[in-house]
């Protein structure tokens, strides 16, 4: 394992320290925690607080999206491990200005349980808390017999949506309604070229041969749905779009937002090559995105690969929310 670190056990606190010291204009650490909160406190006055977070290793998610117009605070757990309830609870308290706090949770059993315990703690303090559990990864079939679909890169679009609504003064109930309405219209699918190495583990989470790829891998190296020989960017675009098409039923009369997300080790050069093929593929379906982002938003440490998120903007306001200005490190 080659990594620029001091010791595997110190990665998270040192990363948070570096982040808040590099960007004091946006974020600061909540004392005694691995959570960061907006440094522009007055931007939270009279607004519903938005808290997200999860295991570390997905940077810039989640602290990179903290700032006016997006998240109020983000809680960082150990690498690929949910943060603990006490830390989430501190974040909730730090951002509550009286109108309640909305939690954006990715659908992993650990995250769901820890955020759930933190909500219980906040309720004891009479802080109203509501939440959305994001499950945009269509690689996993929804079933009673599994944990269900995972929360992946589409979560960042959810952050943007609820963050913009909160900044414009929406109530906790309105934000919950918005999140519930938007969620089924956000679909993500990934392809991995190599696995991530968790610093404390020291070796990759799975093995892929030099000429192999795997479709549908999760952001913690969870297994995907198919392995095969490496394909061209053009063929990858076809596969990923057709998979999402089966879910969202792409329609040339609809407006779509697109997020091409690098998983950590894939250069932007390749992400733009893929975007070229993706836009061609969408054009054959007469679809021209109304909004698009390309880059590293929800990474998986040093995994090579990309994910594609398509968001069907069935409500006109959603595009305005995506375009709403923010003051963050990474949006």
Annotation says 58 is catalytic: yes
Six token digits for residue 142: 């929804």
Least Å distance, CB 265 to other proteins, is 18
* Closer to other proteins by Cβ: residue 5 or 201: 201
Catalytic residue among 58, 62, 159, 185, which? 58
Cα separations (Å) of 110 from 81, 83, 84, 107, 152? Answer: 7, 9, 9, 9, 15
* Known active-site residue 220: yes
Binding site for other proteins (CB under 8 A): 55, 77-87, 108-110, 113-114, 116-117, 140, 145-147, 150, 198, 200-201, 205, 218, 220-223
CB nearer to other proteins: give 222 or 312.
Answer: 222
**Shortest distance in whole angstroms from residue 99 CB to other proteins:** 28
Nearer to other proteins (CB atom), residue 147 or residue 232: 147
Least CB distance to other proteins at residue 108 (A): 7
Is the CB of 22 or the CB of 201 nearer to other proteins? 201
Choosing from 159, 185, 220, 276, which is the catalytic residue? 220
Q: How far is the CB of 241 from other proteins (least distance, A)?
A: 23
**C-alpha 254: how far from its chain's center?**
24
Contact 87, 75 (CB under 8 A): yes
Q: Which residues are catalytic?
A: 58, 220
């Amino acid at each position: 394992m080659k990594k620029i670190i001091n010791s595997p056990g110190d990665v998270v606190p040192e990363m948070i320290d570096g982040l808040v010291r590099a960007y004091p204009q946006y974020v600061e650490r909540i004392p005694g925690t691995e959570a960061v909160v907006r440094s522009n406190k007055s931007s939270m006055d009279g607004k519903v607080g938005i808290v997200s977070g999860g295991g570390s290793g997905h940077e810039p998610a989640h602290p990179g999206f903290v700032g006016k117009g997006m998240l109020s605070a983000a809680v960082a757990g150990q690498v690929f491990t949910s943060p603990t309830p006490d830390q989430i609870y501190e974040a909730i308290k730090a951002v509550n200005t009286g109108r309640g706090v909305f939690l954006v949770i990715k659908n992993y059993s650990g995250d769901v349980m820890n955020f759930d315990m933190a909500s219980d703690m906040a309720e004891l303090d009479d802080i109203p808390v509501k939440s959305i559990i994001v499950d945009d990864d269509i690689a996993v079939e929804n079933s009673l017999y599994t944990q269900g679909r995972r929360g992946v890169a589409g979560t960042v679009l959810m952050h943007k949506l609820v963050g913009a609504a909160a900044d414009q003064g929406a109530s906790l109930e309105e934000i919950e309604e918005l999140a519930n309405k938007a969620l089924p219209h956000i679909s993500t699918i990934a392809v991995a070229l190599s696995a991530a190495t968790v610093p404390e583990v020291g070796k990759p989470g799975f093995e892929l041969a030099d000429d192999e790829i795997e479709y549908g891998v999760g952001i913690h190296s969870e297994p995907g749905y198919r392995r095969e020989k490496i394909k061209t960017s053009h063929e990858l675009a076809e596969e990923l779009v057709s998979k999402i098409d089966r879910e969202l039923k792409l329609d040339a009369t609809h407006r779509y937002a697109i997020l091409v997300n690098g998983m950590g080790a894939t250069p932007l050069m390749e992400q733009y090559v893929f975007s070229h093929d993706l836009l061609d593929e969408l054009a054959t379906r007469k679809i021209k995105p109304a909004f698009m982002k390309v880059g590293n938003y929800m990474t998986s440490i040093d995994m090579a690969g990309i994910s594609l998120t398509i968001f069907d903007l069935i409500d006109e306001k959603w595009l305005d929310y995506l375009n709403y200005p923010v003051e963050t490190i990474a949006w």
